[in-house]
A and B are shown apart, each in its own frame.
Chain A
Amino acid sequence: MKPINFISHIIISTLAILFLLIWSSCEKDVILELADEEGRYIIVEANLTNDGDLQWIRLTQSSSYYDVNRGIGLKGASVIIEEEDDLFLFSEAVVDSVDGFYLQPQISKKLRETTYRLQITTEDQKTYTAQSTFRPVPELDSVTVQLNPFSELGIFEERVYDIFAHFRDLPDEGNFYLFNLYINNQLKTGRPNDKAPVSDINLEEYVSFAVLSVNERDVNPGDTLTLEIRSISRENFNFYSAFFFQTDLSGNPFAGAPPANIPTNLSQGARGFFQVSAVNRKTIIFERPRD
């Protein structure tokens, strides 16, 4: 699989909007009869950065599709990350009374441009591994806010502000980035489909465009807006693309892809993703842009 090119992204988002305009009234919630079962797969959420002290990995078990839960924590696993010269042990913890967390206080400061190997061994002696290479990230020069040109046309119910990132792309094509937005230090893009994965294929050397947007009701003048850029791998970019296709766009007869598993870099049938990233942030004070 190659990364979803930005052309198909544009085409697909357009087709998806077209679809919603035509079809939105012909949808019905249903409960499918599924041959699903609990605990069949383990899911690894491991996004480590060189920022902050404590790094965490969460291990969960898959559940029945309609089961309402926030992941069934997997207890008693041994979690190790190693590189050529170093080894980091993670220790199990319960965070805000949620289990399945594994914490490591030192790795963040020690991340360097090399390949890291994650190894998870569960209580029943099954081992899952994944690899990720730490790559540098460009510095954000500035962050600006503009009124979305289409929010005036009544397409959206309220005003929408586009958040522009301005930065110099790293040399050579084939760099992939992930953008997050914080308002008053609260992460606004906590879920995969809220984040903005960006590929530099076909991008100008100096990048200057709207990566994320925010609704008027979510932001007030004087609030701090922090834009975060992370370096990610091509596979991680594909992971976020596929997440979007397999959830928000699923079933869309114009733009939807046939159902398929979201790709992973974990072995032995585990799901999720392991990514080590460099991070850069830029904070501004929000002011309403003039129309």
Chain B
Amino acid sequence: MTILLAILLFIIPVFHVNAEQRHTLSGTVRDARTGESLPGVNVFIPRIQAGTVTDLKGEYSLRLREDEYVIVFSFIGYSDAELKITLTEDTQLNVSLDNGGIRLSEVVVSAERSRRNVEKTDMGTVSLSIESIRNIPAFLGETDVLRSIQLLPGVQSAGDGNTGFFVRGGNADHNLVLLDEAVVYNASHLFNFFSVFNPDAVKDISLYKGGISPEYGGRLASVLDVSMKEGDLYQYKTNGGIGLISSRLTLEGPIQYGRSSFLVSGRRTYADLFLKLSSDPTQRESQLYFYDLNAKTNYVINPRNRISFTGYYGKDITIFSDLFSFDWGNTTASLNWNRTISPRLSSDVSLLYSNYQFNIAGDIGPSSFRWNSTIDNLSLKAGANYLFADNNSINMGVQSTLHNLNPGTIRAEIENAAAATFELTKSNALEHGLYFEQEVSLFNQQLAINYGVRSSFFQIIGPGTQYTYDKTDPLRWTAKDTLNLERGNIYDSYHHWEPRLSLRFTLTENSSVKASYNRMVQYIQQSQSAQSVAPYDVWYPVSNNIPPQLAEQVSVGFFRNFSNDLIETSVELYYKDMKNVTDVIDNGDILGNEFLEAELRTGKGWAYGAEFLVQKESGKLSGFVGYTWALSKRKIEDINEGRAYFAPNDRRHDLSLSGSYQWSSRWSMGMSFIYATGTAATLPVGKLFYQNAFAPIYSDRNSGRLPDYHRLDLSVTYTPRSRQAENRRFKSSWNFSVFNVYGRVNPISVSYAEKAEKPGIPNSSFFYIPGPIPAITWNFSF
């Protein structure tokens, strides 16, 4: 690693030419009213046709010759700011943009708009603001971040009504989900119907499907970066909503005027309160709800130093009388210190903590059990960004994480007969990542290169247990040796280089081609017990039996904007090759099994596809149309007799339409429509009859298809005009939505159970979410 760094540092000055008489112009762009930093703002100098875009922290930086400039800051939904400066030395220029009272429909499209998708080297990346997510009709009136990204090309839902998702042929656990940099292990509430992200607390989301920066690692398929809103630095605000199944309330405001702020947001579902009205005592004593709490504080120590703290706590509770109780939840905390050391050098240090746990207790008949499981990690991340010139920057850093994986202690009892306490294999591990990337543009900015590498290390440390299996019978491994790992000792170490490269070549002013390559390595993964991710699926690390998963992806894309950048279009092709992907053997027993590894096999996977996107982000009519053609396969020894088979996420065609139309200042409507090829499924090729009962016979795994998936959702938002129009702070709106308008039966799974009323008759049935489901939500802010 050190050799590579030395070489890279040696290369950098080569690009660093002609730097004399140049100065750095840098600063942060913020929302004038809330003080929130604005990422993605176009910073442009018309005279020399040069510019940049603010980063995720709203910061920008340009290297310019000594001269006079007019700089234009523009951002969708905000008034442009034009500032004149005379640059004679390194200058800090902070800008506040006014959003003019959120009159989105009245924004005049100016000549210079964001050309981000054409100009940046990023590909396979989609960013959505929470405003555009809100325009998508919501399930049961609950705006949902994860449900909205499932509409994007290359992203598929793990099932109807399910917030789990697959990216470019990857498994559900191949996605790194981050909330202000902290890992979220299980991003779902209420058995996957809702995601853990409260829309009132979210600022924006970015999903990286390819060309992933070396700053990120540890998962094969994607990074979903969710950033939480910062509290308003200047005024107190309240907003919230009352819906059919939940209510939300958010408070924000300054702690110290203009310097520090807070935001606290909470929500709770209350559908279970209706259970109290039930005549059935079991239902009356049952509970089914979730709540979550988000908090963030920001402190601007001085223009060069900012500190922020984000905390999340959420819990799901399911109780059925005294028979059964099940609770699970995530906790995350991020402490971040952002420092601008000089106009060209900035640093970021974060301390991150994530925790996920579940507790299940059941008392059914004479048997009972208790299962408690936890996974957590503590991570320290430090990075620096250095700008040599406006066309040459580097980003480097290091991250170390301590993982504690405790799949659980299970105590089970059958009255008078048996009792057992199982300690499922506990593991501890250290994960380190060193990363470096450089972005340079050459030939008058026509070519931009972003290259870098991540060096990842993973170390299993004691205490823990390792098993060696007797594999004589390939379908039934039995543990033959146990190794107890001693506390503090390092046992297995893994190391991988993960090179990443992105290129952009500008063809014309509004079109470019891009290409990228990335290698990703994953060291911890999640068992998948049912057909989608369940709250009780446990995470387990690599071991002597489970090697690290590797993915290599190449992609190329063509990006073109039309109508003065009002319409963005792109086509991306990708090919992904995966090694050591895991799957469960036929009839594998993976629930609460201390020999989980014996039920898993690893092998090859590959996926390829083409993604088309047409997007219009502003104007009365906005939205996008996405289409994906994709294929995803696996080939694993001992599964499907070693023959290749379709991955459960294989869907050949996937079309999605999402749009919103601003009818007037009071009425707007939204729609989304999805059509996708049916899920690859193992379907019967015959029936056996044995001991007076029938059962299906199958041939190849996932060789059949469930019926095609399609669904239309609609919503209408009514914003009543307040009486003293401009001056009143209180604003409210009504949202009416219908999920699955024409009541399509989209199967989640198929049952072959015999029906009591039809004994001996072969039967098949779908489990599905019945539609249409209407909902109404009242939102307010003041």
A31 to B763, CA, bound (A): 8
- Please pick, from A4, A204, A253, the residue contacting B749 in the complex, using a CB distance under 8 A: A253
- A71-88 toward B: CB 8 Å interface, digit per residue (1/0)? 100000000000000000
In the complex, whether A55 has a CB less than 8 A from a CB of chain B is no
Instruction: Give every chain B residue within 8 A of A22 (Cβ-Cβ).
Output: 191, 288
Instruction: Give every chain B residue within 8 A of A30 (Cβ-Cβ).
Output: 745, 747, 750, 764-766
**Would A252 and B587 be within 8 Å (CB), given that A26-B768, A62-B687, A247-B693 are in contact?**
no
Contact across chains for A18 and B692 when beta carbons are under 8 A apart? no
Please, which residue of chain A has its CB at the minimum distance from the CB of B534?
A: A254
Min Cβ gap B712→A in Å is 19
**Would A256 and B693 be within 8 Å (CB), given that A65-B762, A67-B687, A210-B365 are in contact?**
no
Min Cβ gap A138→B in Å is 14
Contact across chains for A2 and B366 when beta carbons are under 8 A apart? no
Quick one: which of B414, B530, B587 has the most chain A CB within 10 A? B587
- Interface size class on chain B is 35 or more
Instruction: Give every chain B residue within 8 A of A2 (Cβ-Cβ).
Output: 476, 478, 589, 593, 595, 598-599
Contact across chains for A35 and B324 when beta carbons are under 8 A apart? no
- Please pick, from B598, B682, B693, B745, the residue contacting A259 in the complex, using a CB distance under 8 A: B682
A69 to B694, CA, bound (A): 9
Total interface residues on A, using CB and 8 Å? Answer: 91
**Would A68 and B366 be within 8 Å (CB), given that A7-B412, A260-B698 are in contact?**
no
A29 to B603, CA, bound (A): 36
Contact across chains for B412 and A148 when beta carbons are under 8 A apart? no
**Would A250 and B587 be within 8 Å (CB), given that A34-B683, A259-B696, A271-B688 are in contact?**
no
Instruction: Give every chain A residue within 8 A of B749 (Cβ-Cβ).
Output: 251-253, 256
Quick one: which of A40, A251, A263 has the most chain B CB within 10 A? A251
In the complex, whether B761 has a CB less than 8 A from a CB of chain A is yes
In the complex, whether B532 has a CB less than 8 A from a CB of chain A is yes
- Please pick, from A67, A191, A202, the residue contacting B691 in the complex, using a CB distance under 8 A: A191
Contact across chains for A251 and B692 when beta carbons are under 8 A apart? no
- Please pick, from A64, A243, A249, the residue contacting B686 in the complex, using a CB distance under 8 A: A64
- B741-782 toward A: CB 8 Å interface, digit per residue (1/0)? 000010111111111000011111111111000000000000
- Please pick, from A6, A241, A242, the residue contacting B414 in the complex, using a CB distance under 8 A: A6
Contact across chains for A6 and B770 when beta carbons are under 8 A apart? no
Min Cβ gap B562→A in Å is 42
A25 to B282, CA, bound (A): 17
**Would A258 and B417 be within 8 Å (CB), given that A62-B687, A70-B689 are in contact?**
no
Min Cβ gap A156→B in Å is 10
Contact across chains for A17 and B364 when beta carbons are under 8 A apart? yes
In the complex, whether B586 has a CB less than 8 A from a CB of chain A is yes
Please, which residue of chain A has its CB at the minimum distance from the CB of B476?
A: A1
- Please pick, from B366, B532, B750, the residue contacting A251 in the complex, using a CB distance under 8 A: B750
A235 to B626, CA, bound (A): 49
Instruction: Give every chain B residue within 8 A of A223 (Cβ-Cβ).
Output: none
A210 to B366, CA, bound (A): 8
Min Cβ gap B614→A in Å is 34
Instruction: Give every chain A residue within 8 A of B720 (Cβ-Cβ).
Output: none
**Would A27 and B326 be within 8 Å (CB), given that A2-B476, A62-B686, A65-B696 are in contact?**
no
Contact across chains for A45 and B691 when beta carbons are under 8 A apart? yes
Which residues of chain A from 105 to 158 have a CB within 8 Å of any chain B CB?
Answer: 148-150, 153-155
Min Cβ gap A261→B in Å is 5
In the complex, whether B86 has a CB less than 8 A from a CB of chain A is no
Min Cβ gap B175→A in Å is 20
Min Cβ gap A183→B in Å is 17
Instruction: Give every chain A residue within 8 A of B769 (Cβ-Cβ).
Output: 26
Instruction: Give every chain B residue within 8 A of A238 (Cβ-Cβ).
Output: 587
A153 to B364, CA, bound (A): 11
A153 to B285, CA, bound (A): 12
Contact across chains for A257 and B587 when beta carbons are under 8 A apart? yes
Contact across chains for B685 and A32 when beta carbons are under 8 A apart? no
Contact across chains for B587 and A63 when beta carbons are under 8 A apart? no
Min Cβ gap B91→A in Å is 59
A70 to B686, CA, bound (A): 13
A210 to B418, CA, bound (A): 11
Which residues of chain A from 175 to 233 have a CB within 8 Å of any chain B CB?
Answer: 190-193, 202-204, 207-210
In the complex, whether A284 has a CB less than 8 A from a CB of chain B is no
In the complex, whether A280 has a CB less than 8 A from a CB of chain B is no
- Please pick, from A18, A29, A192, the residue contacting B324 in the complex, using a CB distance under 8 A: A18
Instruction: Give every chain A residue within 8 A of B586 (Cβ-Cβ).
Output: 1, 260-261, 263
**Would A36 and B686 be within 8 Å (CB), given that A68-B760, A203-B418 are in contact?**
yes
A257 to B690, CA, bound (A): 20
A59 to B586, CA, bound (A): 25
In the complex, whether B588 has a CB less than 8 A from a CB of chain A is yes
- Please pick, from B318, B418, B420, B693, the residue contacting A191 in the complex, using a CB distance under 8 A: B693
**Would A209 and B414 be within 8 Å (CB), given that A7-B369, A11-B362 are in contact?**
yes
In the complex, whether B422 has a CB less than 8 A from a CB of chain A is yes
Instruction: Give every chain B residue within 8 A of A209 (Cβ-Cβ).
Output: 366, 414-418
* 18 A-B pairs (CB sep. < 8 Å): A1-B589, A10-B414, A14-B364, A17-B364, A18-B318, A29-B764, A40-B686, A41-B697, A65-B687, A66-B687, A203-B418, A253-B191, A254-B191, A257-B530, A259-B681, A259-B750, A260-B701, A261-B697
With A29-B755, A191-B692, A259-B683 known, 19 other A-B pairs at CB within 8 A are A1-B599, A10-B368, A10-B414, A18-B326, A21-B320, A22-B191, A27-B767, A30-B765, A66-B762, A204-B418, A209-B366, A246-B695, A250-B696, A250-B751, A251-B766, A253-B159, A259-B682, A260-B587, A261-B698
The 9 A-B residue pairs with the shortest CB-CB distance in the complex, in nearest-first order: A209-B417, A251-B751, A260-B586, A71-B689, A14-B362, A62-B686, A202-B420, A251-B749, A259-B682
